[in-house]
Structure 1
Amino acid sequence: MSQGIITVGTEFPSFKKTAVVSLEKGKEFADISSESFKNDEGRWTVMFWWPKDFTFVCPTEIAEFNNNFDEFRDRDTTLIGASTDSEFVHLAWRNNHDDLRGLKFPMLADTSKSLAEELGILEANEKIAYRATFIIDPEGIVRWVSVYDLNVGRNVEEVIRVLDALQTDELCPCNWEKGEETLTAALAE
């Protein structure tokens, strides 16, 4: 078992997993790896996890991330959803749930649960992932982590707000929103 949730300043763990990327026959699956996080293009990554496919809170979150896909794309950010279910379960769920058929981002399958365990987000009893969100910078470093209880859905607008703040590379006050003034640290005399 991992020693706890990885945190800000930590390099995101290396992985290579299968993901559902399409509903088109013969093009449903693709491999995704941590190497895609490290890039010269300045792209950020948001990876969000949910506990189980075919449940009730999870599709509301996945649909909301999808509804905001363009917001992430406009911020040069790759969006990846993930759970410990298999790629075949992901595909079946996408095919059977109206809100999931048109997903614009991959659904990563961590069937071995190795990545969830390394991230420290594997729930002890059922061995499913907590509702965790990671913002990863272009160098592959975790810049923000958020973990919710299994029964509570997250706020996608807050993920976007934090991403905006991190991308300013400046000091952002409480409740800061994109377009507002950032802070200037006064130098001691």
Structure 2
Amino acid sequence: MTENRILSVGSVFPEFKKQAVVSIEKGKEFYEISSDTHRHNDQWMVMFWWPKDFTFVCPTEIAEFNKNYDEFRDRDAVLIGASTDSEFVHAAWRRDHEDLRELRFPMLADTSKSLAEELGILQAEEKVAYRATYIVDPQGIIRWVSLNDLNVGRNVAEVLRVLDALQTDELCPCNWQKGEETIEA
């Protein structure tokens, strides 16, 4: 098994320009998104990756991120979902799966696998992305990374909790929740 060198906390998130699916309306399905989108608007970015479209665990995560879309928006965070499938496969999956038809965030298509490879999140045998989640600050610096095995879904509430903690720019104790006291050093 090959060891990945995962781009981690403190690193600059790689620049990218990729096609994404933003709608299932004919003629409006695709849009190009880039790393500049959140930086120019002084926003945080949360990018989460899944291994493959038309699978079983992935739509549960995607639907849960979508249910929490307003929570991310209220925190000035751009939410982007991503996999190494093509934009055409993303569009077909969105049309096919009831829980994905009304997504409010883009599904990035990293068909060249260049971004996943640069992040170090490609699974060695199948060359699909692990379930990786990145929180990136408005300056483009990675502030949090979570990486799950292919079989285990992530916890969207935990992503929001960590985003809240990072945005305080203070010391946050274990299990800290938004609204609780931070630590005075």
Structure 1 segments of 4 or more deviating over 6 A?
none
In 1, Cα distance between the equivalents of 2:142 and 2:54?
A: 29
SS at match of 1:38: helix
Paired residue total:
184
Contact between 1:37 and 1:44, CA under 8 Å: does it hold in 2? yes
Q: Which runs of 5+ in 1 are unaligned?
A: none
Deviation at 1:35, TM superposition (A): 1.4
The root-mean-square deviation of aligned C-alpha atoms, in Å, is 1.2
Deviation at 1:2, TM superposition (A): 9.0
Match of residue 71 from structure 2: 71
Match of residue 34 from structure 2: 33
What's the TM-score, normalizing by structure 2?
A: 0.97
* Deviation digits for residues 31-52 of structure 1 (CA, Å, limit 9, x no counterpart): 011111323x431110000000
In 1, Cα distance between the equivalents of 2:68 and 2:147?
A: 20
1:51-90 aligned within 5 A: 51-90=51-90
In 1, Cα distance between the equivalents of 2:120 and 2:4?
A: 7
What's the TM-score, normalizing by structure 1?
A: 0.95
In 1, Cα distance between the equivalents of 2:48 and 2:150?
A: 13
Contact between 1:82 and 1:108, CA under 8 Å: does it hold in 2? yes
Q: Which has the larger radius of gyration?
A: 1
SS at match of 1:123: coil
In 2, Cα distance between the equivalents of 1:78 and 1:35?
A: 11
SS at match of 1:37: helix
In 2, Cα distance between the equivalents of 1:42 and 1:173?
A: 27
In 1, Cα distance between the equivalents of 2:37 and 2:10?
A: 18
In 2, Cα distance between the equivalents of 1:144 and 1:82?
A: 17
In 1, Cα distance between the equivalents of 2:163 and 2:122?
A: 24
Q: Which runs of 5+ in 2 are unaligned?
A: none
Contact between 1:37 and 1:136, CA under 8 Å: does it hold in 2? no
1:85-100 aligned within 5 A: 85-100=85-100
Contact between 2:132 and 2:146, CA under 8 Å: does it hold in 1? yes
* Deviation digits for residues 12-61 of structure 1 (CA, Å, limit 9, x no counterpart): 0011100000111111000011111323x431110000000000000000
Contact between 1:2 and 1:120, CA under 8 Å: does it hold in 2? no
Contact between 2:18 and 2:109, CA under 8 Å: does it hold in 1? yes
In 2, Cα distance between the equivalents of 1:84 and 1:30?
A: 16
